[in-house]
Structure 1
Amino acid sequence: MKTLSTRILVILFLLGTQSCKKKIAELEYKERGTLIEYNLKGTIPESGIVPRINEFDAQDIVQNGVNYYSITYRTIYEGKQINSRGLLLVPEHVDSAYLIAYFHGTQIPINLSAFYESKYETPSNYEGQGNNFIETRNIGLAWASAGYIVFLPDYIGFGATENKEHPYLAYDELFKSNIDGLLAVKQFLAEKGITYDNRLFLSGWSQGGGASLSAHKFIQEQYASEFTVTASSSLAGPYNLRGFMDDILSRKDEELITNNIFSWGLYSLNKFSPELKRPTDQFYSYPVYDQYSAIFTPSQIPSQTFKAYFLANIIDGSDAAMNQVINRNTFSSGWNPVGKVFLHHGDADEIVYYYNATDAMEGLGNAGGDVTLYTYLGGTHLSDVGLYTQNTLNDFNALK
């Protein structure tokens, strides 16, 4: 049996070895959005698409078999270059592209076989299964079989970057890897000889709904020469982050099922916003060392999760820096979308409240946007994937 000191030496050696490996494997500089590699993982024939879609009857949608690729691209994370990955779904025999970016919903970044495994919802891990990968199968495959090329980024914190913390609800940070993935997709299309005219459709569910609408704003402001946003279609997204935070704070002494989201969101906003980056003991009432301890709070009551003066300073506005970051990640008003905006929401959504959709409808409409709201009566956060997929396809088809 090895002595304790021997074991420590072995561990130190292994750590040193890993350190050397990291130094050797440092990334050569490349422009953000550079396509690093792509791999054809498989093909699902037309006859195999419908059995993989279980949220609705896709018989009338399916028209093509689908090739699925993992795609690796250069992006940036906390100011440093990193490779990230996504899934690209390409209908067979396509020679011109109608491109959809689909941003997936919230995934808890853990892999515990007895509890939950995010790897089975991470798009680039898809191997053609008929189970798990709910969004990839029911939304991505449906649209790809209908003739669209669909890009589904993993996000930083999942797949190839699962050792990094995910910028949850920090949409300005999340956008960086998503836009770099789209730039890499353009290179893929060029290499494959697929004609593409820069028109882009954006979409997403839940967290991805927020990513979709925020990307609509960021692309028209920063990447208009690369992409023209024809439309965005978002399901149950937290567009009004300001309203969500204020709502939680108004009920800070209640037990709330959204407290974990609130906690993770504040942790990420603090970590990924240059003007914040505060020690977590300045605002948490219990030890928080990483995103996992922020997600798994000891209480579902916000006032027992955060220090009283921190919450009070957000409520009364004296925490100007935190409020500025929250406002910066709110997209329900204050900008005029170029291209159409379609919002989809169940009016009984218990996770991302319905007012996110009505506030965005009003705020963006007042700014001059062309906004349509689909309200699903009695719909919850999980109930309307099929309706969203079919209605979005109809709307996008009308804009081709």
Structure 2
Amino acid sequence: MNAFLPFNPEQRRGLRRWLQCAALAATTATLAACGGGGDDDDKQVPVPPPTPAPAPQGLGELLHAERLAGGASITPRVISAALAEDHSKVPEVAPRYSVSTWRLTYLTEDKDGTLVRASGLVALPDKGANAASPVIGYQHATTFQNDNAPSRKLEPAEPPIVLASLGYIVVAPDYVGFGESNARTHPYLQAHPTARAVLDMLTAAQTWRRQNAVADTGQLYLVGYSEGGYATMAAQREMERSGHPLLAQLQASVPGAGPYDVQATLDGLLQRVQDERPEIAWLLKPGTLRHLGSSLRAEVRRLLMRALLPGDADVDYDGRFIDLYLADRQDELKEFSSVHWGWTPTAPVYLFHGRQDQTVPFAAGLSAYDTLAATRGAPVSLQECVRTQPSGHLQCVPEYFTYAIDVMQRTSRGL
């Protein structure tokens, strides 16, 4: 007799079965199904199927969609009346469709590459079932108030609403730092997170359209003025470099008055600082700024930021590009911020800029034109703001939208 197992063979077999069942129960929560031996112990213990792991969340994933404006559409009559009263952005046009509005929440990256929730607007022309529309990726200009983000500002004279009333599906990211991500810093003039916010919003909007049977013509246009022009070029560059799935749909981009070449932009703004502070103007020369003392550098930084941003902003702007500029780290600034270099367009680029622009110097647009045209890719052009005088930054906005609408209507289907 075994001194350590004082059981008969049948008892030992039952004990082994019970131990095996108990071990299984530890991971399946079925301990109550285990018996102490006998015929019932030979029955197979049911094991529930494992719970599927949640799918990993990724860039461009659609998280949520909600109808805005209380579910009501904005009618052509309301849009026309608003444009008659205020056409400081979009010129007076003839709206054709009522517009319904939606806020999408999606995933993109912030300035540190962290996955974050962001938001944006989809403005949809009310055409009826199965009527297809071309898509505009609209990038808004620099704004300093969260309430001016597209998914929060639904005034009928705003560009996304007006463009949708002409027959386009308009997709407008709020950008990181606005809307859903207002608690985060806005990565101002940072190439990668700017491009990601645009492309991930376009991807989420495409998912939403497919889920809701909203037809499009397979045509995509990218438009935007000022920071929106910068974001437009950043997005096209990223599409071209990465072979993004939406690249096949891109018909053209129309970047207006953007600081694409950030070095050239800040060199131009430095001239404004020299004019404001003539007593130190002789010290302020590109390429020698790193020699400034800390207090003087801080003052120059403040003046440059003021030239770009007002003091009443309720959005936190990341100004690292200015720090790179003041340190004369030109190669790093180019890699970090400038979007006019390092790519060849396969879709036409229609640049627009005014020579008297004091906010984003004309030199930035000219640099982008020269660089992109030299690649000998798709056609690149630079349309000057000529019908508006003076051809300043804000003054040329309506002329820009007239030009952009004309460019898109040359090839758009389904309007």
User: Once the two structures are superposed, what CA deviation does each residue of 1:25-66 show, in whole Å capped at 9, x if it has no partner?
Assistant: xx9951221111111113101211112222178664311110
- The reply on whether 1:129 has 2:155 as its aligned counterpart is yes
Provide the C-alpha distance between the structure 1 equivalents of 2:78 and 2:406, rounded to a whole number of angstroms.
Answer: 22
Query: SS at 2:223's partner residue?
Result: strand
**Alignment-mate amino acid for residue 88 of structure 1:** V
Q: Which residue is 2:406 aligned to?
A: 394
Provide the C-alpha distance between the structure 1 equivalents of 2:149 and 2:133, rounded to a whole number of angstroms.
Answer: 24
RMSD over aligned Cα, in angstroms?
Answer: 3.2
Q: Which residue is 2:97 aligned to?
A: 64
Deviation at 1:354, TM superposition (A): 1.1
Aligned residues: 315
Q: Which residue among 243, 247, 262 is the counterpart of 1:241?
A: 262
Deviation at 1:222, TM superposition (A): 1.5
Deviation at 1:359, TM superposition (A): 2.1
Query: SS at 1:98's partner residue?
Result: strand
- The reply on whether 1:180 has 2:203 as its aligned counterpart is no
Provide the C-alpha distance between the structure 2 equivalents of 1:143 and 1:79, rounded to a whole number of angstroms.
Answer: 32
Change (3 A) 1:159 1:39: same
- The reply on whether 1:51 has 2:59 as its aligned counterpart is no
Deviation at 1:189, TM superposition (A): 0.9
Q: Which residue among 353, 364, 385 is the counterpart of 1:345?
A: 353
Structure 1 runs not aligned, ≥5 long: 1-26, 109-117, 131-136, 257-280, 298-304
**Alignment-mate amino acid for residue 176 of structure 1:** R
Q: Which residue among 364, 369, 385 is the counterpart of 1:361?
A: 369
Provide the C-alpha distance between the structure 2 equivalents of 1:310 and 1:214, rounded to a whole number of angstroms.
Answer: 19
Q: Which residue is 2:380 aligned to?
A: 371
- The reply on whether 1:97 has 2:130 as its aligned counterpart is no
Deviation at 1:251, TM superposition (A): 7.3
User: Once the two structures are superposed, what CA deviation does each residue of 1:183-217 show, in whole Å capped at 9, x if it has no partner?
Assistant: 10001110121234543211111011111112111
Structure 2 runs not aligned, ≥5 long: 1-53, 278-293, 312-318
Residues 164-173 or 79-88, more deviating: 79-88
Change (3 A) 1:28 1:250: farther
Change (3 A) 1:154 1:313: closer
- The reply on whether 1:41 has 2:68 as its aligned counterpart is yes
Residues 157-166 or 72-81, more deviating: 72-81
Q: Which residue among 163, 168, 187 is the counterpart of 2:183?
A: 163
Provide the C-alpha distance between the structure 1 equivalents of 2:152 and 2:324, rounded to a whole number of angstroms.
Answer: 40
Q: Is the 8 A contact 1:52 1:138 kept in 2?
A: no
Provide the C-alpha distance between the structure 1 equivalents of 2:379 and 2:219, rounded to a whole number of angstroms.
Answer: 17
Provide the C-alpha distance between the structure 2 equivalents of 1:172 and 1:119, rounded to a whole number of angstroms.
Answer: 22
Q: Is the 8 A contact 2:190 2:336 kept in 1?
A: no
Q: Which residue is 2:117 aligned to?
A: 83
User: Once the two structures are superposed, what CA deviation does each residue of 1:262-296 show, in whole Å capped at 9, x if it has no partner?
Assistant: xxxxxxxxxxxxxxxxxxx899648x9xxx99968
Provide the C-alpha distance between the structure 2 equivalents of 1:182 and 1:312, rounded to a whole number of angstroms.
Answer: 35
Query: SS at 1:394's partner residue?
Result: helix
Q: Which residue is 1:214 aligned to?
A: 234
Q: Which residue is 2:395 aligned to?
A: 383
Deviation at 1:311, TM superposition (A): 6.4
Provide the C-alpha distance between the structure 2 equivalents of 1:76 and 1:332, rounded to a whole number of angstroms.
Answer: 21
Q: Is the 8 A contact 2:138 2:173 kept in 1?
A: yes
Q: Is the 8 A contact 2:324 2:332 kept in 1?
A: no
Change (3 A) 1:45 1:311: closer
Taking every aligned residue pair, what percent have the same amino acid on both sides? 23
TM-score, scaled relative to structure 1: 0.70
User: Once the two structures are superposed, what CA deviation does each residue of 1:55-78 show, in whole Å capped at 9, x if it has no partner?
Assistant: 178664311110011111122222
Q: Is the 8 A contact 1:207 1:238 kept in 2?
A: yes
- The reply on whether 1:150 has 2:170 as its aligned counterpart is yes
**Alignment-mate amino acid for residue 142 of structure 2:** T
Q: Is the 8 A contact 2:324 2:333 kept in 1?
A: no
Q: Is the 8 A contact 1:106 1:207 kept in 2?
A: yes
Change (3 A) 1:310 1:355: closer
Query: SS at 2:209's partner residue?
Result: helix
Provide the C-alpha distance between the structure 2 equivalents of 1:60 and 1:33, rounded to a whole number of angstroms.
Answer: 33
Query: SS at 1:147's partner residue?
Result: coil
Change (3 A) 1:398 1:160: same
**Alignment-mate amino acid for residue 123 of structure 2:** L
Change (3 A) 1:153 1:38: same
Q: Is the 8 A contact 1:91 1:149 kept in 2?
A: yes
